[in-house]
Chain A
Amino acid sequence: MAKNWLTDINDKLLNWYGIVGFLILWQIAPTIGLIDPQFISPPTTIIAYAWTLMETGDLFIHMAASLQRTFLGLFLAVITAVPLGFILGGWFPGVAKFLRPLMSLLGQINAFSLFPIFILFFGIGEVVKISIIYWSSIWPILFTTIAAVQHVEPIFIKSARSMGAGRGTIFFKVILPGSAPAIFTGIRMGTNVAFLMLIAAEMIGASAGLGWLVHNASMNNVIPRLYVATVSIALLGMGLNYFMRWLESTLVTWKEETAVE
């Protein structure tokens, strides 16, 4: 019995062993002089520095700035791409097919490379960062929405029709819920890309945000701050991903839990 719960705990911790080992190595290597602590600060120094940044509240200000941009851009992308996807996929499949090459070309354009053009149009303010988010998330959301609408099982539509459902009912009660899981996948993909792009954009033109923090740290040669910013970006990105999964599982409750994550 005792062995059982031990293996249980072991199983739960298994995911963490790699991270813990890595942290230990990271701590020891600069401390014993294996690598230059000037370039790679040990985790304890980083944590201490993070603590001061948190005490002054600076870290949260930057996190909030990045998050706000992400959510705003994402929100705008969702409210345009999802209805557009429904219209193209549901009502104008011919137009959708016709536009597909153009859309995948546009989708391939890295938002970051459009940054200078966006700056010409929108100046250097908030709008330009939000348009980066918007551009990088709208395409995956649009593509998956169109595909999701077109791949709702015909038997569901037939079944609804057999019970006298009209076009409107079929749209709201069959196509919309039937395509929700796929659309969520698109939104999650869009979020990941958008967040990466945002950080890069903040490094070029911003006065707040985690990307700016990285840039600022490197300009002023404050290496621990650089690491704090980097780790915060990783954690925030992870948190964002978890949040999206949580949102999906609370809104789409009817799907079988799949073991593969």
Chain B
Amino acid sequence: MMSTKIKAESIYRIYKVRNVEGDNSHITNHNGHEGLLALDNVNLEIKQGEFVALVGPSGCGKSTFLDILGGLATPNSGDIYIDGKPVKGPGLDRGIVFQGYALFPWRTIQHNIEFGLEIKGIPKNERKDIALKYLKLVGLEGFENRYPYELSGGMKQRVAIARALAFDPEILLMDEPFGALDAQTREVLQIELLRIWEETHKTIVFVTHSIDEAIFLADRVVIMTARPGKIKSDIRIDLPRPRLEGDLKSSPEFARYRHELWELLRDEVDKAEEQASENIRGAAAHQEEKPAAAWQPQKQSAV
């Protein structure tokens, strides 16, 4: 039996927001924290070496959850455990690939990849060897002396993955890493990521908007509800591995998963859309109120 790598226990996250007059529908109070409830009792267990995809409508709290797993944000209540130990902050046991590449533009590709290694205190020569090794792993040999601005989006994404892998974290947290790429590059990188995962046996949490991507990559697809984010369902993907061949996506099993996930997700996407249009209406109503609000002090001073 594989051991539990990550455990999220009743995670709540409330963002402090400026109170918009008239519209308090999204403001909640939880244990004395008042604000916008982004995560509402999220519980999740991920096994060592598992590839878990996290899907959900925009604004449902996926990035928020990933930040908490990464130790970059703290939940208002609840705990994250890695290997049974509570997470206190960021650490080199977790590598994060951010939504947008977040490469340092002032560093060459090689030195970008070396960043985590510098913090680990690895000597210069060794750092270089490691950086070149991971650059090769993501198929960018010979680009070590380039700067990020000289690379295409797909290449930057590969560097970001190499950088997160280079300090050898046990867990890889990836936030829509392929979201900004064209379909072909995306497919190539999906296959490459699977190859790397199979080579390195990392535990991966992968946020995506694409159901196809989630099914193709993951052992499990976790679906989140519209805000406030809860876990709606947790679907095991029993497709054979290695999934390196292209026609898997046109197989009947794949279509069945796609249908099942889409049925589950559809309501949440609708709900999120409703929330968004309510926000727009709320904002519009708020604007209409403004002149009236400007009136009031005058009236009062007249009294």
Contacts and interface: CB of A to CB of B under 8 A. Distances in A.
Interface of A: 155-156, 158-165, 169, 173-174, 177-178, 180, 252-256
Nearest to A174: B104
Interface string B91-104: 11011101010101
A156 B92 contact: no
A255 B96 contact: no
B295 interface: no
A164 B104 contact: no
Nearest to A159: B102
A253 to B, nearest CB: 8
Nearest to B67: A158
A161 B115 CA distance: 11
Q: Interface of chain B, helix or strand or loop or mixed?
A: loop
- Residue with the greatest number of chain A CB neighbours at <10 A, chosen from B70, B100, B119: B119
Q: Most chain-A CB neighbours within 10 Å: which of B102, B106, B107?
A: B106
B115 A254 contact: no
B72 interface: yes
Contacts of A162: 70, 72, 90, 94-96, 98
Interface string B218-246: 00000000000000000000000000000
A163 B72 contact: no
A177 B94 contact: no
- Give 10 closest A-B pairs by Cβ, nearest first: A163-B116, A159-B102, A177-B106, A162-B96, A256-B149, A254-B147, A254-B106, A155-B102, A164-B119, A164-B92
Contact of B102 (A156, A173, A177, A254): A156
B30 to A, nearest CB: 25
A158 B119 contact: no
Interface in B239-289: none
Contact of A165 (B95, B105, B106, B119): B119
Interface string B61-97: 0000000001010000000000000000011101110
B287 to A, nearest CB: 28
Interface string B128-171: 00000000000000000001110000000000000000010000
Contacts of B90: 161-164
Given A161-B72, A162-B72, A173 B115 contact: yes
A252 B96 CA distance: 27
A158 B106 contact: no
Contacts of B107: 177, 254
Contact of B106 (A160, A161, A169, A178): A178
B91 A254 contact: no
Main secondary structure of the interface of A (DSSP, over half): helix
Contact of A159 (B98, B108, B149): B98
Nearest to A256: B149
A251 to B, nearest CB: 10
Contacts of A253: 147
A256 B151 CA distance: 11
Contacts of B147: 253-254
B102 A164 contact: no
B92 A158 contact: no
Contact of A255 (B92, B98, B100, B149): B149
A254 B119 contact: no
B219 to A, nearest CB: 24
Contacts of B104: 156, 159, 174, 177-178
A155 to B, nearest CB: 5
B119 A163 contact: yes
Contacts of B167: 163
A25 to B, nearest CB: 44
12 contacts: A158-B72, A158-B98, A162-B98, A163-B92, A163-B115, A164-B120, A177-B106, A178-B106, A180-B106, A254-B106, A254-B149, A255-B105
Contacts of B94: 162
A163 B90 CA distance: 7
Contacts of A174: 104
Contacts of A163: 90, 92, 95, 115-116, 119, 167
A164 B72 CA distance: 10
A155 B98 contact: yes
Contacts of B91: 164
Nearest to B148: A254
A159 B160 CA distance: 10
**Max chain B Cβ within 10 angstroms of own Cβ: one of A163, A164, A165, A174:** A163
A158 B115 contact: no
Contacts of A155: 98, 100, 102
Contacts of A156: 102, 104
Give the most central of A164, A253, A255: most B CB within 10 Å.
A164
A164 B167 CA distance: 11
A156 B148 CA distance: 13
